[in-house]
Amino acid sequence: MSITYLSSLDIANKTVLIREDLNVPIKDGIITSDVRLQASLPTIKACLDKGAGVIVCSHLGRPTEGEYDDKYSLAPIAKYLADKLGVNVAFSTDYLQNGVSVKAGEVVLLENVRFNVGEKKNSSELSKKYADLCDVFVMDAFGTAHRAQASTEGVIRACVADGKMVCAGNLLSAELDALSKALDNPAKPVLSIVGGSKVSTKLDVLNSLATICDSILVGGGIANTFLVASGKNVGASLYESDLVQTAKDIMTKTKILLPTHVVVADKGEIDFEDFLGSLEKANAVIKSVDEIGENDMILDIAPDSAKELGEYIKSAKTILFNGPVGVFEVDKFGQGTKVICEAVADGTGFSIAGGGDTLSAIDKYKVADRIDYLSTGGGAFLEFVEGKPLPAIVALQSV
């Protein structure tokens, strides 16, 4: 079933409620990264341009439901939105008790939905209260589309039950289009880059990718488990012994690209209580994967090895990128991730990247504008790639 897009609806003089993902880092009241806020602006602007009165809601962090906590208030974001939209943005904390009054061309931001009891459990009572605020509901929060909560899935069902219009906003539409382009009938060869710390958190995604990709380049702690599966010794590196057989099975389904050389540090130099701090002081040594000693911890792909792997990336027609291939937070263990990011940017294939650490790395190595699509979703991105139905998308499709 298809989804209705905001672009096809006449919403003049209607009150729209937009669910955005405004979950950004805020320190001492200052927004430290506005990537998600920027991504939400086109939908809010589109609703204003179409002559609607606009209510925006979102979660922020993980507060305890029913308990107000200043740290998780969306108040600083009202100021940001007012500045970027050039309109006054009112902030409402009593919307569940007193409703919201908004005229065409006005914007009201609601306080953090996760302060509301029943949000996470997808309470139908709370969902109905959200639905009662609007004539039209616009789902735009791809980053939370994999969670069935009152402000994501429940509100859609409540609106539909009341005969109200529901649709996907511009950001959600763009995410779905980009992911469909990469996953349904993708241009071949298809290559995925899967990095990060653990196989266990990416097992489902690796299994799904093995069926659609011509090759998977594994990096980070994940590569270590695959190195063991291919008979190498990884010394003191992070790896998961119980998943070695799983890694072997995946290797029978698709071509797994592994580094020939890696960057290691001596375990004795690492303080696990202050992992990144100790790595700043540790010696970074390049070694062949055939020469790893008992005290060596593999922390990156060596730059030359990453360049060789980069050639596969450059010749791929579709590239999916999730997870750094090393501890990129520390520069001396970040060169492999840098080379991989640059290869993705230089490649002529359609490239799509998602996940918090991946976007931070892309930002750090300044290649964001040369990657075709940057997904705002972390968990939602992975679940979509795994082929799992995302509850909020399913609800939009069931209209």
CA distance 327 to 333: 5
Q: Which residue from 143, 154, 186, 221 is in contact with ligand AMP, where contact means CB under 6 A?
A: 221
284 DSSP assignment: P
Residue 246, both tokens? 């799983």
Contacting range for ligand AMP; rule: CB under 6 A; set: 27-35, 119-127, 320-328, 384-392:
320-328
Enumerate residues 199-218 that contact ligand AMP by CB under 6 A. Answer: 201
CA distance 322 to 359: 9
CB of 311 to ligand AMP, least distance (A): 22
CB of 380 to ligand AMP, least distance (A): 14
Half-sphere exposure of 35 (CA within 13 A, CB side): 15
Is 6 or 234 the residue whose CB approaches ligand AMP more closely?
Answer: 234
CB of 323 to ligand AMP, least distance (A): 4
Measured CA to CA in angstroms, residue 254 lies from 192, 211, 248, 312 at distances of: 11, 7, 11, 14
Q: Which residue from 143, 154, 186, 220 is in contact with ligand AMP, where contact means CB under 6 A?
A: 220
Nearest one of 175, 193, 226, 137 to 314, comparing CA atoms? 193
Is 266 or 329 the residue whose CB approaches ligand AMP more closely?
Answer: 329
Enumerate residues 326-385 that contact ligand AMP by CB under 6 A. Answer: 326-327, 329, 357
CA distance 259 to 282: 22
Determine the residue type at 120.
K
Q: Which residue from 60, 131, 299, 395 is in contact with ligand AMP, where contact means CB under 6 A?
A: 299
Considering only the C-alpha atoms of the chain, give the largest distance between any 2 of them, rounded to a whole number of Å: 69
31 DSSP assignment: E
Active site residues: 36, 198, 356, 379
Q: For residue 317, state whether it binds ligand AMP (rule: CB under 6 A).
A: no
CB of 220 to ligand AMP, least distance (A): 3
Q: For residue 278, state whether it binds ligand AMP (rule: CB under 6 A).
A: no
CB of 31 to ligand AMP, least distance (A): 22
CA distance 387 to 264: 35
Nearest one of 84, 155, 146, 62 to 354, comparing CA atoms? 146
CA distance 278 to 139: 43
Q: Which residue from 56, 178, 298, 302 is in contact with ligand AMP, where contact means CB under 6 A?
A: 298
3-state class of 257 per DSSP? strand
Half-sphere exposure of 84 (CA within 13 A, CB side): 17
Is 359 or 395 the residue whose CB approaches ligand AMP more closely?
Answer: 359
Enumerate residues 79-138 that contact ligand AMP by CB under 6 A. Answer: none
Residue nearest to ligand AMP (CB): 196
CA distance 384 to 288: 36
CB of 398 to ligand AMP, least distance (A): 32
Q: For residue 197, state whether it binds ligand AMP (rule: CB under 6 A).
A: yes
Q: For residue 292, state whether it binds ligand AMP (rule: CB under 6 A).
A: no
| Number of residues located near ligand AMP, criterion CB under 6 A | 15
List residues binding ligand AMP (CB under 6 A).
Answer: 196-198, 201, 220-221, 238, 298-299, 323-324, 326-327, 329, 357
